[in-house]
A and B are shown apart, each in its own frame.
Chain A
Amino acid sequence: TQLLEQSPQFLSIQEGENLTVYCNSSSVFSSLQWYRQEPGEGPVLLVTVVTGGEVKKLKRLTFQFGDARKDSSLHITAAQPGDTGLYLCASRIISSGSARQLTFGSGTQLTVLP
Chain B
Amino acid sequence: EAQVTQNPRYLITVTGKKLTVTCSQNMNHEYMSWYRQDPGLGLRQIYYSMNVEVTDKGDVPEGYKVSRKEKRNFPLILESPSPNQTSLYFCASSLSGYFPGYTFGSGTRLTVV
Chain A positions within 8 Å of B, measured between CB atoms, are: 2, 31, 33, 35, 40-45, 48, 88, 90, 92, 96, 98-107
Contact = CB atoms under 8 A, between A and B. Distances in A.
Contacts of A35: 101
B45 A102 contact: yes
Main secondary structure of the interface of A (DSSP, over half): loop
A100 to B, nearest CB: 5
Contact of A48 (B4, B58, B101): B101
A40 B106 contact: yes
A96 B58 CA distance: 10
Main secondary structure of the interface of B (DSSP, over half): strand
A100 B104 contact: no
Interface residues of B, number: 28
B81 interface: no
Interface string B37-72: 000111111001010000010110000000000000
Contact of A44 (B58, B104, B107): B104
Contact of B105 (A33, A42, A103, A106): A42
A106 B102 contact: no
A107 B42 contact: yes
Contact of B48 (A2, A45, A100): A100
A101 B92 CA distance: 12
Contacts of A40: 106-107
A106 B56 contact: no
Contacts of A2: 42
Contact of A104 (B43, B56, B103, B106): B43
A95 B41 CA distance: 19
14 contacts: A35-B101, A42-B105, A45-B101, A48-B100, A48-B101, A90-B43, A102-B97, A102-B102, A103-B45, A103-B59, A104-B42, A104-B43, A106-B40, A107-B42
A38 to B, nearest CB: 10
B14 to A, nearest CB: 25
A102 B98 contact: yes
Contacts of B102: 43, 45, 102
B90 A88 contact: no
